[in-house]
Chain A
C-alpha cells in the first residue's frame, strides 16, 4: 500500500472500503440479486430500423399470450424525459418515429423469461423507413433527412467561443501547426449489466424503484414526470452498483419502462438487460473529430489555439450539449494560453445516443492537444516536459473563460513522473521499437452550477448520534464502487476524532437519506465531503458544550483526541465520547444534525452562454509517462509501464486514490489501444465483450501512482477529485511513445495493429516514391 503523510500530521496508508467485506464474500446485493421471487420478468421490443415513421404497432397478440401480464407502448407515456431541462427530447418508448436501431418501442412483463420473449416475437411493427444518417458528415450534408424536426442540419448544438485575440496570437508565433485527429466511439462497459426492479403497490399507489443508477434523485424526478405521479409516492433506492463510469448518470429508458410495466401490471417487475442491450442503451463517449491549431514561440510558449470539434452524438440529446461545451471549456484550466477560439458541433445521427463517460467531454480534445504539443516540441527541438513547464498557470487565478483555479499541483506532478520514469536518462536512448511519451490532463471536482437550479445547497449530509455512541451518516451520494461512502465515513471520523468503525453510512435511499444530485462530474468528494465535515463539526460543537459542562471548563478549552474530550492543559480531565454522547441525550433524545455545502458563487463560471460548464471549485491535475513497445511486423502495441502523478489536493483515502488513478489510466489505455464500437448500417457490430475489446489482465501494465497534495483552500481537508483526471493523458502519452518508438505519428484512436501497419505501409510507400523520384535522371 502506498503511504503519504498528510498536512494533518498522521500517516495515512489508506483504509479498505467500508463495504468491502460484502463484496469479497458475495454478500453484496446488486439490483439483479434483490429478492424477486414474486416479480414478473420484463423484456423490451426494439426498433429493427435506424430511422423510420411508425405506421402500425400491434401488441394484441402479445397481450393475449397466456402468462403475459402487461404490455406498454409509446402511448402509455406521452411525457419526454432527459437529463437537461432544455433538451428533454426522448420518450422512454418511441412515439411516432424511431431514430436508431435498438430504440425501445414496446415492452412486456410476463411470468417468466421464456413467455416474455415469446411475447416479443408476437409484436407487429410496421415502419416506413426514412433515410438514416450514421456519420456526422452524412447528417450535416445538405438535404439530409432531419432526425429531429426542430434541428436544422441535424445540429443539436453549435458552440462558438473566442477568448483573447487568436489572430494576434498566431501572428506572434514562431511556429503554427495543425492536427486533425479522429477518436472512435467507446463504451463504459461497466461489468454489471443494467437492471431495475420496480414494485408498484396498487392499494397505496406507491412505487418503489431499485436500480443501477448513479443519479437516484434524477431518476426520482423523471419517474414522477413520466408516470405523472406525486414525487412523495415514489421511493428510489440504490442497491450495490457494479460500476458506472457515466453509463448511469442520466435516467435511462429501461428504468422508466420498468416502472411503467410495474404500474400496468400492478405489481413487481424485474428488468435485466443483456450485454448487447447495454451497448444499445449506450450514452458513452462519442466518436469525435478534432481540428486543432496551436501557435508557439521558439521557446515553447503557446501564443494561441484554435479548435474545432465535431461529435457524432447519436439520436437523442442526453448530455450532448454539456459534452460539446466541456470539449471547449476544458481547453482552459490546464495551461496558460493567451487566446483560445473554439467551435463545437454536436450532431444528431441515427445511432444509440451518446452521453457522459469518465472525463466527460474533455478526453478527446485533450488527446488532440497533447499530441500536437508533442509534435511541435519535437519540431522545435524542445523536450516535451520543457514545453509544458513553459505554459504553466500561476494559481490562484481565473482562466480566460472565467474558471476558478485555486490550487495547481501540475509542476510537481511533472517533476515526479519525470524522475520516476527516468525520463532524462532514458529518452532517446531506448532501442528501436521501444519508446517513451508523456502528456498532462485535468478534470473538474464537480460541476459548480447544478443542472436544476433550486436554490438548495449542493450537498446535504445528516448525522445521527444515538444512545449506543455510534454515529450514522445519511447521504444521498451514490457509491458505485468509487468508495464515496467510505469517504463520508472517513471525513466524519476524522472530524470527530473517532475510530472509523464507529461510523455507519446509509446511502442513496430517498425515503431515508437527504437528496443528492448523484455520482457524476467527480462532485461527491468535494461537495458531499464538505457537507459531511460541516455536519460532523456541528455535532462536535454540540458535544464539546456538553463536555465543557462536564469537565467544568470553558467550551473553547475543550478539544478532542482519539475518542476522548479533553480539557486543555489537564491530563486528568478527560471524558470519553460515549459518556459525553449519553449526557448529550439527556432531555434531548437521539441527536440529529445537518451539514451542507454550497459552491461559492465565484466558482460557478462566467456570464457567457455555456459559461457554467467547466466551472468548478478546483481541478485535479495529472502528468503521465507511458513506456510502450511496437512490433513493426504485426503493428501490435504493448504498454510496458505507466507512471502517473495526480494532484488531488489531499488524499482523504490514499488507497482509494491510487485505485481510482490506476483505473482511470487503464481505462484511458483501453480507449487508446483497442476499444471502439462499430456499426454496420446502424447495427452495433461490437455489442459484446468479445468484440468490444476491453483490455484483459494480460495486456495491463504495472502503473506507478504518485500523489501530489496541493491543498485546495475550498476542498474537504484540501481534497479535489481523483477519479477522472488521469484518463485523458494516457492516450496522447501512448501516441507520443509510439512516435518515439517507431517514428509514426498516429492521427486516429485506437492504436490498433491495423492502423499501425497501415501507417507503416504508407511510410514505406512514401519513402519508395521519394527515392524513385530522387533517382530519376
Chain B
C-alpha cells in the first residue's frame, strides 16, 4: 500500500475554553477529547485507564458536568468550557479537594486521582454539603484499585468540612 492511497485526514477548527483560556486547534473528526488533551494540549493529568468509558480516570468537566474524555469527541467541545485537573490549583495553593486527597491519603498510586477529584469537584459545585451517600453516588463512575475507597470518602468529606 502506498501513501497516496491513505484516506485524507479530516480536520476541523475547534475553539474551546480550556482551563479558563480560549484556544483554537485543527482537530480530526475522530480525535477523542482525552487524546486532544494529552497529545494536542500537552495536559497529561487526564489519564486513560480502560478501552472506553469503564474506569473514570479521564473524567473532565465540560460546562461543569463530569464527562469521561475517552468517550467524547474533541470536536463536540467546540464553543464549550473544558476543565481538567490542571485547572484546579489556583495560584500557589492546592484546591481543597487536592489538599484533602493529599493529607488523608485519598491517593495511593495516584492514577485514578485526577479523575476522582474532578468528579468530586463537580459534586461540590452543585452540592456544597453532600452526604456520604451522595459522595459515593457521585464517584460511582470512578474506579480505584488501591484504597478500597475508604480514604477517598474521607478525603471528600474533609474537603467539604474545609469549605470556606
Contacts and interface: CB of A to CB of B under 8 A. Distances in A.
A698 B136 contact: yes
B101 to A, nearest CB: 5
A193 interface: yes
A188 B43 CA distance: 27
A274 B49 CA distance: 8
Nearest to A480: B109
Contact of B54 (A16, A188, A275): A275
* Dominant secondary structure at the A interface: loop
Contact of B94 (A25, A276, A702): A25
Given A659-B105, A663-B108, A697-B136, A25 B89 contact: yes
Interface in B134-159: 136-137, 139-153
A771 interface: no
Interface in B67-123: 84-86, 88-89, 94, 97-99, 101-114, 117
A67 B49 contact: no
Q: Most chain-B CB neighbours within 10 Å: which of A17, A28, A667, A694?
A: A28
B34 to A, nearest CB: 11
B45 A26 contact: yes
B100 to A, nearest CB: 9
Given A23-B107, A27-B45, A655-B105, A662 B50 contact: no
Contacts of A483: 108
Contacts of A702: 150
Contact of A481 (B55, B109, B153): B109
B10 to A, nearest CB: 13
A16 B143 contact: no
Interface string A668-704: 0100000000000000000011100010111010110
A24 B102 contact: yes
Contact of A275 (B51, B109, B136, B139): B51
Contacts, number: 182
A66 B3 contact: yes
B3 A688 contact: no
Q: Most chain-A CB neighbours within 10 Å: which of B55, B85, B88?
A: B55
Nearest to A669: B148
Interface residues of A, number: 64
B44 interface: yes
B143 A191 contact: yes
B57 interface: yes
Contacts of A192: 47, 49, 109, 111
B121 to A, nearest CB: 12
B163 interface: no
Interface stretch (A51-59, A238-246, A340-348): A238-246
A571 to B, nearest CB: 35
Contact of A24 (B98, B136, B143, B151): B98
Interface string B18-56: 000000000000000000001000011111111100110
Contacts of A61: 1
Nearest to B30: A114
Contacts of A561: none
B110 A697 contact: no
Interface stretch (A29-37, A359-367, A421-429): A29-37
Contacts of A20: 101-102, 105, 107, 110
B2 interface: yes
Contact of B55 (A1, A245, A689, A697): A689
B54 A688 contact: yes
Given A28-B110, A191-B112, A16 B50 contact: no
A66 B103 CA distance: 51
Given A20-B102, A700-B149, A702-B150, A481 B108 contact: yes
A666 B112 CA distance: 16
Contacts of A25: 45, 85-86, 88-89, 94, 98
Interface string A205-227: 00000000000000000000000
Interface residues of B, number: 58
Contact of B57 (A22, A191, A480, A667): A191
Nearest to B89: A25
A694 B149 CA distance: 12
Contacts of A4: none
Contacts of B136: 697-698
B150 to A, nearest CB: 4
* Dominant secondary structure at the B interface: loop
Contacts of A243: 108-109, 111, 145-146
B6 interface: yes
Nearest to B148: A666
A65 interface: yes
Interface string A59-97: 001001111000000000000000000000000000000
Contact of B110 (A122, A242, A700): A242
B143 A689 contact: yes
Nearest to A665: B148
A190 interface: yes
A14 B104 CA distance: 10
A92 to B, nearest CB: 23
A480 B146 CA distance: 10
Contacts of A245: 145
A242 B113 CA distance: 10
Nearest to A192: B111
A21 interface: yes
A265 interface: no
B111 A663 contact: no
B6 A66 contact: yes
A656 interface: yes
A191 B45 contact: no
A604 interface: no
A484 B122 CA distance: 32
Nearest to B138: A697
Contacts of B105: 14, 16-17, 20, 655-656, 658-659
A189 interface: yes
A740 interface: no
Contact of B84 (A23, A26, A32): A26
Given A481-B146, A697-B140, A697-B149, A242 B111 contact: yes
Given A66-B3, A689-B54, A697-B149, A193 B48 contact: yes
Contacts of A694: 143, 145
Interface string A109-147: 000000000100010000000000000000000000000
A475 interface: no
A665 B38 CA distance: 34
A482 interface: yes
9 contacts: A1-B104, A17-B107, A24-B102, A242-B109, A480-B109, A659-B151, A688-B51, A697-B142, A697-B149
Interface of A: 1, 14, 16-17, 19-30, 32-33, 61, 64-67, 118, 122, 188-193, 240-243, 245, 272, 274-276, 480-483, 655-656, 658-659, 662-663, 665-667, 669, 688-690, 694, 696-698, 700, 702-703
